[in-house]
């Protein structure tokens, strides 16, 4: 399994917002601007056939209309499955109404897209991938999901945005590599983890590889200046193979 860290920044940082590509065709989160950024990195966005959305904050799903329009303009009829929180389609319609009035139906009728909305923990088998979602805790946003993606006995975990909670431990325990929210430079809060949470997790699970993401610039700086042996602070489009 190949994982590319397309973005590992928070909204305010100069780095693309948290988004990941598995084997060049499964996109985890669709932050504002990521579709153009993927093109800038020379990816063919028409290869994307599966999307996992962690939660419905703009920096995690606002570029979904642009991906759909990309498929529409290219007359691409390949089936794209979107595993997403309950309420995604309603919000997506609203985004289209704001940005591209009258186009939602037209686009939906022309492309081949299937939304798999869910409220709580689920398992979805898609070809050789098993995709598990786990409820995490992200302030008032409900539901908010982390994911564990299995392929050929290897597992990669994603926390999505979350404070440190038992689900995070479970994602790390169950995965070979985990990509975790490390928004903050010290302690976490009710919505996000901080460097000190991640340091505790790295010490607790010394044999696991952790990749930090969703970082404010200050969190990235603290982590780069205080390295932890099993923690990776990804550079642009960092790639890891399992």
How far is Cα 124 from Cα 50, in angstroms, rounded to an integer? Answer: 12
State yes or no: cis peptide before 7, omega within 30 of 0.
no
**Alpha-helix runs per DSSP H in 64-186:** 64-73, 88-99, 104-110, 166-174
Instruction: Among 57, 134, 163, 216, indicate the residue that binds Zn ion (CB under 5 A).
Output: 57
Contact pattern from residue 77 through residue 116 relative to Zn ion, giving x for each residue in contact according to CB under 5 A and a dash for the rest? ----------------------------------------
Residue 181 CB coordination number (10 Å): 31
Q: Which of 115, 99, 169, 185 is nearest to 137 (CA)?
A: 169
| Dist. CA 18–CA 142, nearest whole Å | 19
Least separation, in Å, of the C-beta of 176 and Zn ion?
Answer: 25
Residue placing its CB nearer to Zn ion in the complex, 71 or 192: 192
Among 29, 63, 161, 181, binds Zn ion (CB under 5 A): 161
Kindly state the smallest distance separating residue 57's Cβ from Zn ion, in Å.
Answer: 4
The answer for residues whose C-beta is within 8 angstroms of residue 150's C-beta and 6 or more apart is: 129, 130, 131, 132
Selection from 146, 149, 141, 150 nearest residue 164 by Cα:
146
Query: Are 3 and 27 contacting, i.e. CB atoms less than 8 angstroms apart?
Result: no
Nearer to Zn ion, 84 or 240 (CB): 84
The least CB distance from residue 42 to Zn ion, in Å, is 28
**Minimum separation from the CB atom of position 12 to Zn ion (A):** 13
Smaller CB separation from Zn ion, 75 or 140: 140
Q: Which is nearer to Zn ion, 63 or 161 (CB)?
A: 161
Closest approach, Cβ 194 to Zn ion, in A, equals: 15
Which range in 41-49, 52-60, 178-186, 202-210 contacts Zn ion by CB under 5 A? Answer: 52-60
* Binding-site ranges for Zn ion (CB under 5 A): 57, 161
């Amino acid at each position: 399994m190949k994982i590319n860290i397309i973005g590992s920044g928070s909204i305010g940082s100069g780095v693309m917002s948290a988004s990941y590509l598995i084997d060049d065709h499964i996109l985890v989160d669709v932050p504002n601007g990521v579709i153009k950024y993927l093109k800038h990195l020379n990816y063919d966005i028409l290869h994307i056939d599966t999307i996992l959305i962690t939660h419905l904050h703009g920096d995690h799903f606002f570029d979904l209309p642009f991906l759909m329009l990309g498929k529409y303009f290219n007359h691409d009829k390949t089936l794209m499955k979107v595993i997403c929180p309950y309420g995604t389609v309603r919000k997506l319609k609203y985004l289209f109404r704001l940005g591209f009035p009258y186009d939602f139906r037209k686009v939906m009728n022309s492309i081949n897209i299937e939304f798999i909305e869910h409220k709580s923990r689920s398992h979805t088998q898609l070809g050789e991938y098993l995709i598990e979602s786990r409820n995490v805790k992200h302030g008032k946003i409900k539901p908010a999901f982390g994911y564990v993606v299995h392929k050929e006995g290897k597992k990669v975990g994603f926390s999505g945005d979350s404070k440190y909670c038992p689900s995070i431990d479970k994602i790390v325990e169950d995965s070979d590599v985990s990509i975790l929210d490390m928004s903050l430079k010290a302690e976490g809060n009710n919505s996000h983890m901080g460097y000190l949470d991640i340091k505790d997790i790295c010490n607790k699970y010394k044999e696991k590889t952790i990749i930090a993401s969703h970082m404010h610039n200050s969190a990235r700086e603290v982590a780069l200046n205080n390295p932890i042996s099993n923690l990776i602070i990804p550079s642009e489009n960092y790639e890891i193979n399992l």
